[in-house]
Amino acid sequence: MNTVADVVVCGAGIVGSAAAYHLAVRQRVGRVIIVDEREPLTLTSDKGTHGYRNWWPGPDDTMLRFVSRSIDLLEESARECGNAFRMNRRGYLFATADAEELERMRARATQVSAVGMGLLREHTDFATYEPHPAEGFEDQPAGADLLIGEAARRAFPYLVDRTAGALHIRRAGTLNGVDLGALFLKQAIANGATFVRDRVVGFEISNGAMRGVRLASGDVIDTPRIVLAAGPAVHEVGEMLGVSIPVSHELHAKLTLRDTARAVPRDAPFVIWNDPLTIDGRALPGGAHLRPVDLTRGDELYLIWTYETDTRPYEWPPRFAAHHAEILVRGCAAMIPAMQQYVGGGARGLLDGGFYCKTRENRPLIGRLDVDGAFICAALSGFGIMSAHAAGELVSLHVAERALPDYAAAFAPQRYDDASYVARITAWGAGAGQL
Ligand SMILES: Cc1cc2nc3c(=O)[nH]c(=O)nc-3n(C[C@H](O)[C@H](O)[C@H](O)COP(=O)(O)OP(=O)(O)OC[C@H]3O[C@@H](n4cnc5c(N)ncnc54)[C@H](O)[C@@H]3O)c2cc1C
């Protein structure tokens, strides 16, 4: 059967859903068809920790501006829907027991503050610090608070006693990414978009221009435009187009653990331990983190710590090392001693996760591809939930041929054609912007 679309979005993760929303609702593109072989939002977008932050240390302010735009849009959407996706402003809290790391945190925060994060406030006295609310996002301070010594331990008494200081990023928090994605899809569909459950298996291209999308069912959608939003499988869809998509993959696991003993206050921010840890004689890098999440029991925590960041081929379902859950619990117990009671019980939690799909400098791919009518919105790495709104907006502006924001060129696939850009990013590394 042949159907006709003005644009097809391949992939109904958070990114494809946001793209469909922007195309159908904000750009008023007529016939938008979203194709996914799975139920929407069930590959990577429901596996993350769903945090957001305007914290982007270097190498320049590009990612900070892009994600800040996304947070503006998230707040706008939250206001429109009565905060149906429960966006809060609890912040990201980076803690350390190391005086030298505290100095590095101060230097990084000063730099990010200078490029637009907002003011950095320093507290040696707890009384000058404004605590965060449990819910809501309005009327909150931006920037960051650096709490030194006793001020940090009083503000966050669950942190280990040897905590030397903590940096609280304030335009940050968590939200429910699945509810956000559902809202995008609902609004897109209410504005004429349709969802088709099928697998994209090929394209019809003539004279270098997009003509149609072939589906596994045998159906064909005649369309002059396609948006590739296939998440970690985007390179496979790119191959069908004859275009090489420059991405690699990193496996990230998260543990959902019931905190039946209330080791962590339910209104805690996203708490991150910056210091390296030694677990079972093995030296692991800093970055263990945890946050409360209200799932079916209302007492769950998400724990995450990617101590191995090697590139590995995308496969589904992903496979995780059996001991990973236990290492996560031990890492988090080093920063929050009350978590110690769960050591040995990590296997009782649910370990899942997915693949970060990344470019070499960890910036997304959003823009035109070399086939006329083909666009990409992918490689959202570990920031796809927080930046999907701005990513969907940007690709929709490309499709609708509207004026583009000034960060557009930084995400265009053609940036790698510029030898001076490639020379510059070689120094940055793929870890740029990753917690
Ligand atoms: C453990 C973990 C923690 C994370 N934490 C955060 C966080 O705190 N904050 C944050 O912002 N981000 C976080 N992320 C990253 C975020 O989850 C991703 O960037 C985001 O979900 C990617 O969305 P996507 O729509 O690009 O991909 P996906 O959600 O993977 O969606 C891609 C879709 O494309 C479909 N598809 C693929 N190929 C085809 C085909 N041929 N035909 C039809 N359909 C196809 C798939 O079925 C899938 O539904 C985390 C990720 C992980 C794994």
Query: Model confidence over 75-115: pLDDT tens digits?
Result: 999 999 999 999 999 999 999 999 999 999 999 999 999 99
Domain boundary among 353, 371, 396: 353
The domain of 384 spans 2-50+177-247+360-428
Q: Are residues 161 and 285 in the same domain?
A: yes
Question: Residue 329 class from Cβ within 10 Å (0-12 exposed, 13-18 middle, 19+ buried)?
Answer: buried
CB of 233 shorter than 6 A to ligand 1: yes
Calculate the alpha carbon distances from 41 to 16, 38, 64, 162, 354 in Å. Answer: 9, 8, 25, 41, 12
Report which ligand 1 atom has the smallest distance to the Cα of 354: 53
Over range 393-409, report the average pLDDT: 98
Count: domains in the chain: 2
380 close to ligand 1 (CB < 6 Angstrom): yes
Pick the residue whose CA is nearest to atom 53 on ligand 1: 354
- Is residue 249 pLDDT above 80, yes or no? yes
The predicted pLDDT at position 307 comes to 92
Residues 418 and 269 in one domain: no
Share of the chain above pLDDT 70, in %: 100
| Omega prior to 59 cis, within 30 of 0 | yes
Instruction: Tell whether 188 and 130 lie within a shared domain.
Output: no
Residue 48 CA to ligand 1 centre (angstroms): 9
- CB of 213 within 6 A of ligand 1: the answer is no
Cα 380 to ligand 1 centre (Å): 8
Computed over every residue of the chain, the mean pLDDT equals 97
Residues 342 and 368 placed together within one structural domain of the fold = no
Q: Is the C-beta atom of 212 inside 6 A of ligand 1?
A: no
- 312-351 pLDDT, tens digit per residue, is 999 999 999 989 999 999 999 999 999 999 999 867 899 9
Output the CA 385–ligand 1 centroid distance in Å. 8
The finding on whether 15 has its CB within 6 A of some atom of ligand 1 is yes
User: Rg for the chain (alpha carbons), in Å?
Assistant: 22
- Do 151 and 13 belong together in one domain? no
Looking at the fold, whether 221 and 195 belong to one and the same domain comes out as: yes
Which of 353, 386, 411 terminates a domain? The answer is 353
pLDDT classification of 218: cutoffs 50, 70, 90: very high
For the chain, what percent of residues have pLDDT higher than 90? 95
Question: Does 389 reside within a domain?
Answer: yes
Same domain, 158 and 272: yes
How far does the centroid of ligand 1 lie from the alpha carbon of residue 325, in Å? 22
The average pLDDT across 12-18 equals 99
Q: Both 368 and 238 in a single domain?
A: yes
Q: Which of 335, 353, 371 is the last residue of a domain?
A: 353
Res 386 pLDDT > 80: yes
| Alpha-carbon gap, residue 406 to 392, rounded angstroms | 16
